[in-house]
Structure 1
Amino acid sequence: MVGVVVETDASVASTALGRLGDEQLALVMYEVGALIEDQTKLRLADEKTSPEGAAWAPWSAAYDESRNHRKHSLLVAEGDLRDSVQNLTTGTAAVVGSNLIYAAHHQFGTDPSKRKAGVPDGAAGAGIPARPWLGLSADNRADIEALVAGRLEDLLQ
């Protein structure tokens, strides 16, 4: 699986926060994972940028001509990649990602030197430029911090 991992050390957090138990921290981390899942799906469906805000590399001209632009956009054809994004939080580790093999191809790219001659970018067997879709933007981090601060405030009352 390719994904984003956010972890917290429950023993350190429990000591620092005193009254919070592992179950409460696990609930907070689940909510963090759910937020990251939503942020990632939004990035794929609407934002079309890396977590740092850089626009994704466009399709090659040949591949672009093969797309139905009313139905397809970068990284979203039938929606399989977007729909495969999952929050797999366990305990105090939030893991968000996809188990689709091509999810990693889009995140990291594939070696263009292994492209088959005459095969357009994005087609089977072709090199694919990296189009990072996993990760946390500054806004994502701020949203996570606000969520955690709010939940901890609620739990400590």
Structure 2
Amino acid sequence: MAGADITLGLEVVDGDLPLAVLQAVAARAVDMTDVMTAIGEALVRSTHVRMEREQAPDGTAWQKSRRAAETGGRTLYKIGHLYQSITSQAGPDSVAVGSDVVYAAIHQFGGDVQHAARVQTIYRRLADMQAERPAPFVKRGRATFVSNHQVAAHTVTMPARPYLGVSADDQAEILAVVEDAFLLAMQDAGR
């Protein structure tokens, strides 16, 4: 995944997950793809919940975006591309959860976005411009007035709004998935 991702594997485990439990299951199963798939699906679900709540994996609230504040919408959710792009890829000993949209990383980690100088065309309706509360812009097809404006080069600083990660609840869910796999492996070994 090129945008942003986190990867959990048997050799490196975030937080306080009991590595010994993961290694015990791994010793009984050469290919843990099914377990990693279940962990990935759980992490995708929890990432969606965090995005709906507008909070980081540690529970802190994100800084509200200007667009969301002005429109009453949600931060990091305009039409849902980032939200819908969250996926997981499981392997025999690891799972990666992330997004491949080009702007995924800037939202996860924050940073500066450089905009080059450009000419911007804006579209308006004369009738709207004369109204008591004019609509500032309209779509090209509805415009009766078109003008070009020079926009200077500028930098936009995006705050970090981490949506990927492993929360305390995620750790408990991962442990439950691993325990279920361990119990199933023990039952299968006893047959």
TM-score by length of structure 2 reads 0.64
Counterpart for residue 54 of structure 1 = 60
Name the CA shift for 1:145/1:42 in 2 (closer, same or farther; >3 Å). same
CA drift of 1:17 comes to 4.7
Mapping 1:1-157, distance limit 5 Å = 1=2, 2-9=4-11, 16-17=24-25, 20-23=28-31, 25-44=32-51, 46-60=52-66, 64-65=69-70, 67=71, 69=72, 72-111=73-112, 126-157=156-187
CA drift of 1:125 comes to 5.4
Higher normalized strand content (fraction of residues): 2
Name the CA shift for 1:22/1:13 in 2 (closer, same or farther; >3 Å). farther
Give percent identity, aligned residues only.
29
Which consecutive residues of structure 1, in runs of 5 or more, have no partner in the other structure?
A: 117-123
Q: Tell me how large the CA RMSD over aligned residues is.
A: 2.8
Aligned amino acid, residue 155 of structure 1: A
Number of aligned residue pairs: give it. 141
Q: Report the Cα distance in structure 2 between the residues aligned to 1:58 and 1:98, rounded to whole angstroms.
A: 21
Which consecutive residues of structure 2, in runs of 5 or more, have no partner in the other structure?
A: 12-19, 117-153
Name the CA shift for 1:127/1:18 in 2 (closer, same or farther; >3 Å). closer
Q: Report the Cα distance in structure 2 between the residues aligned to 1:141 and 1:81, rounded to whole angstroms.
A: 23
- 2:157 alignment partner, SS class: coil
Name the CA shift for 1:153/1:92 in 2 (closer, same or farther; >3 Å). same
Name the CA shift for 1:126/1:36 in 2 (closer, same or farther; >3 Å). same
- 1:75 alignment partner, SS class: coil
- 2:158 alignment partner, SS class: coil
Contact 1:88/1:94, CA 8 A, preserved across alignment? yes
CA drift of 1:19 comes to 6.7
Q: Report the Cα distance in structure 1 between the residues aligned to 2:88 and 2:53, rounded to whole angstroms.
A: 20
Contact 2:68/2:75, CA 8 A, preserved across alignment? no
Q: Report the Cα distance in structure 1 between the residues aligned to 2:36 and 2:56, rounded to whole angstroms.
A: 23
Runs ≥4 in structure 1, deviation > 4 angstroms?
A: 12-15
Contact 1:14/1:20, CA 8 A, preserved across alignment? no
